[in-house]
């Protein structure tokens, strides 16, 4: 199997509407499947909103204070908003490996390595998707979420990393269905890690290359 060309790496300025992003991803995934464009990693921020994955339960939506979008990605309810880095991952597993579990584990490894570059120990937890950090008193908080979908073995949706979002917005949902006492959500800012979104992006970019291979900057006219 020939390795794919370096994936294109795009970062959007400003807030991108969720419906617009989904449409752009679907168009990109179709083009990748037709071998008309390279794989793509798209970093952005959304305005405040909630998304419901395929496993979302209605009772986990506690307060619909923001728009709610039903989406085909895996997982349950999550929040997106300013200060959170969303990375949409459009990779062709036909040219990599058709193994969903391995792919999700690689996404986890990507986040763990990026967090390590920022001085944070991120960890996996059996039965809980995403990346977690341990806090005092045995508490564990989720700092990054994962939710993906495949079409023709091309991935889309992806990951989100809490850099400096307003964590109070998570109180409108049961994040990812985890409601047990001692579990919550956190951010780099809450952990005392003072980094900008561009600094977080640099860590994500370097860690992505470690796990998935090299990337190339997308030309302005080629941005999603």
- The gap from C-alpha 65 to its chain's centroid, in whole angstroms, comes to 22
Nearest to 43 by CA among 207, 172, 210, 190: 207
- 168, with CB counted inside 10 A (0-12, 13-18, 19+), is exposed
Pinpoint the alpha helices (H) of 13-160. Answer: 18-33, 100-117
3-state secondary structure of 124: strand
Is 28 in the active site?
A: no
Do 205 and 9 form a contact (C-beta atoms < 8 A)?
A: yes
Do 54 and 87 form a contact (C-beta atoms < 8 A)?
A: no
Question: Which residue among 52, 176, 200, 218 is the active-site one?
Answer: 176
Q: Could you give the residue numbers annotated as active site?
A: 176
């Amino acid at each position: 199997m020939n390795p794919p060309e370096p994936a294109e790496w795009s970062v959007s300025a400003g807030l991108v509407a969720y419906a617009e992003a989904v449409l752009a991803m679907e168009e990109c995934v179709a083009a990748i499947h037709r071998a008309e464009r390279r794989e793509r990693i798209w970093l952005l921020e959304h305005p405040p909103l909630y998304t419901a994955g395929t496993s979302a339960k209605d009772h986990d939506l506690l307060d619909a204070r923001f728009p709610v979008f039903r989406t085909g990605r895996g997982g349950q309810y999550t929040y997106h908003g300013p200060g959170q880095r969303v990375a949409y991952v459009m990779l062709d597993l036909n040219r990599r490996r058709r193994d969903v579990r391995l792919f999700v584990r690689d996404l986890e490894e990507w986040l763990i390595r990026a967090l390590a570059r920022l001085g944070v120990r991120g960890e996996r937890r059996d039965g809980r998707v995403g990346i977690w950090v341990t806090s005092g008193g045995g508490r564990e908080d989720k700092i990054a979420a994962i939710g993906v979908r495949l079409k023709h073995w091309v991935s889309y949706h992806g990951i989100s990393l809490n850099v400096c979002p307003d964590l109070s917005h998570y109180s409108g949902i049961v994040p990812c269905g985890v409601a047990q006492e001692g579990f919550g959500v956190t951010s780099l800012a809450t952990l005392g890690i003072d980094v900008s979104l561009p600094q977080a992006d640099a860590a994500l970019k370097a860690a992505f290359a470690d796990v998935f291979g090299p990337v190339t900057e997308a030309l302005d006219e080629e941005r999603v």
